[in-house]
Amino acid sequence: MILSAENYLHGLLTTLMQKNGWPVEAVTVGRPKQESFGDYATPVAMSLAKTLKKAPRAIAEEIVATLDYDRQLIAAIQIDGPGFINFRFAPGYWQSVLAEILQAGESYGHSHSGAGKKINMEFVSANPTGPLNIVSARAASIGDVLANLFCATGAEATREYYINDAGQRVRMLGYSVSSRYMALFGIDEPFPEDGYHGDYIKDLAVALREEFGDRFVKLALDERGEQLTQLALERMIRAQKETLEKFRVHYDLWFSEQSLLDGNRQQEVLTAFAQKNLSYRQEEALWFRSSQFGDEEDRVLLKRDGEPTYFLGDIAYHMDKYRRGFNQLYDLWGPDHHSHIKRMEAAMTALGYPPGSFQVRIIQQVNLLRGGEVVKMSKRAGNIIAMTELVEEVGVDAARYFFLMRKLDTPMDFDIDLAKKQTEENPVYYVQYAHARVCNILAHAQAKGITLAETYDLGLLQTPEEIAVLRKLAEFPETVSKAAQFLEPHRLTIFLQELAASFHHFYHDHRVVSEDAALTQARLRLVEGVRHVLANALRLLNISAPEKM
């Protein structure tokens, strides 16, 4: 098989259109909703009806009569309904897909649709002033998988984390810790007004006392605040890294906001804006004319006191990404950063970067359900369920799978009880079970002394259940490339569910290892193909593929 079936049909139809002088754009090929209609279908005849001023079915008949196609590949072409042209592929075609899978192995599903792209995938990037929360966990799994998907389409992808280690918030962390630290020595130091109240602050203070004793007690407040800020920061970042590592998310780069400040990189942005006359002074602050680029109003770059805003730093950071050679930037932000999308897009446009080369997706909130009730969470009350707690409670595989099941920009419910269940109700086990079952069959064959013969005949795979599995296997490359293209990892979990289902059906109806040696050989290859695709898909999701359950 050289081309996917969809591409093959698309090519055939396009050629025909060109020959007839018809608009090529009208050609679309998709899968029919019902399998009984065939494997692929095109509504092209209906699209042409208006321009050609002919009945759709008449056009369809003309197309079918003149279409030059490979009779070995396509078994039947039929016109149905208002003018759909339905194609049914021959078993030989589906069998050739399996041959391709066996040959490609781990690389089956990979493509070149993203070749030449250098993608920067920035995700989570939470403030280092508190533990990672549930939304961070959702963003972590999605960003990680998107990067995998990009790589699978031939693009280069870098996972990047922006550390917000500068500014007022971080100082507040240090002073919060300082107050708790002093309290450990019986000294009452006022707690900062907008300080952080979580228990982790007290834990930090205790840890620092254990490591450094009373070293900071005698220091002046500012001195102590500064030193504890640095130490608290290091520990918070380290904790975040550990949490993410445990979740199987490994970043290529942790980028420090402070390093931008140290390098005075904001100045480049200010210069660029000044040269284009896109900034102005007003009320002692420096403003960017973002309203000229689709934002609701202009935004401040330098505050009245001369300090840069977070916005300015973020522009400099993204400028840096382009400078490092990336030609596509994706950011996953939390719901609280909603309003910043327009101003950042405005800034990137103003700086002349190609439209669409910078894209933000909001990872929407997660409602935790326990016992059917939404778990109320409040930052103030400090009863936030941290990412670590969730992952420890439900496990990495289940947590990742649950986050990846849903579209990323819609709020989702996370049912903790369901995720923990080791029963059929839990979707993650369904697909893992299919993989374990596949491995068990292969092990069983081996135990019976059946070795994989050099020659085998995939042409023996002809039952509806076998063809159904083959058809599903053939969808995998397309699923991967579309999931990458539309930033929709949930396509993979849906695919896995369907593939597992089609395999379970097959398993139920047919024995793999049987008296019929030739059929056994062919079916073992089918099972092997299923194993490859299940494993490849799970690997893209970074979810384990157990050999036994």
Residues 208-227 touching RNA, rule: CB under 7 A, are none
Q: How far is the CB of 197 from RNA (least distance, A)?
A: 16
The DSSP-derived string for 297-351 is S-EEEE-TTSPBPHHHHHHHHHHHHHHTT-SEEEEEE-GGGGGGHHHHHHHHHHT
From 106, 245, 389, 409, residue interacting with RNA (rule: CB under 7 A) = 409
Own/partner pairs, 209-215, CB within 8 angstroms, 24+ separation: 209/181, 209/184, 209/185, 214/185
Considering only residues 475-534, where is the footprint of RNA by CB under 7 A?
A: 478, 482, 488, 490-491, 494, 497, 501, 504-505, 507-508, 510-513
Considering the rule CB under 7 A, would residue 41 count as an interface residue with RNA?
A: yes
Distance, CA of 25 to CA of 44 (rounded, Å): 9
Stretch that binds RNA, among 9-17, 65-73, 380-388, 418-426 (CB under 7 A): 418-426
- Supply the minimum distance, in Å, between the C-beta of residue 57 and RNA: 11
Pick from 262, 307, 457, 516 the residue near RNA by CB under 7 A.
Answer: 307
Interface with RNA, residue 304, by CB under 7 A: yes
**Considering only residues 279-298, where is the footprint of RNA by CB under 7 A?**
282-285, 296
Strands 84-89 and 74-80: antiparallel
Least Å distance, CB 447 to RNA, is 9
Residue 27 as a binder of RNA (CB under 7 A): the answer is no
Give the pairing type, strands 118-122 and 328-333.
Answer: parallel
Return the residues of window 82-141 that contact RNA according to CB under 7 A: 82, 84, 86, 127
Q: Which parts of 455-474 interact with RNA (CB under 7 A)?
A: none
Q: Residue 479 and residue 278: Cα distance in Å, rounded?
A: 43
CB of 404 to RNA, least distance (A): 11
Q: What is the CA radius of gyration of the chain?
A: 29
**Whole-angstrom Cα distance, residue 279 to residue 275?**
9
The H or E element that residue 431 is part of is helix 427-447
Is residue 436 a contact residue for RNA (CB under 7 A)?
yes
The residues, any chain, with a CB within 8 Å of residue 177's CB and separated by 6 or more, are: 201, 204, 205, 208, 228, 229, 231, 232
Please report how close the Cβ of residue 505 comes to RNA at its closest, in angstroms: 4
Backbone angles phi, psi at 255, to 5 degrees: -100, 125
Binding mask 352-371 for RNA (x = CB under 7 A): ----------x-xx------
Q: Closest Cα to residue 286, out of 298, 297, 295, 296?
A: 298
Q: Is 169 in the site for RNA (CB under 7 A)?
A: yes
Q: Which is nearer to RNA, 243 or 426 (CB)?
A: 426
| Shorter beta-carbon distance to RNA: residue 216 or 479 | 479
- The answer to whether residue 373 forms part of the interface with RNA (CB under 7 A) is no
Q: Which of the residues 254 through 283 are near RNA (CB under 7 A)?
A: 257, 282-283
Whole-angstrom CA distances from 39 to 59, 69, 91, 103, 193 are 21, 15, 11, 24, 65
Instruction: Please say which residue, 94 or 311, places its beta carbon nearer to RNA.
Output: 311
142 touching RNA, by CB under 7 A: no
Find, among 37, 54, 48, 57, the residue nearest to 13 by Cα. 48
Closer to RNA at the Cβ: 388 or 485?
485
Residues 241 and 234: their CA atoms lie apart, in Å, by: 11
Stretch that binds RNA, among 17-25, 247-255, 269-277, 437-445 (CB under 7 A): 437-445
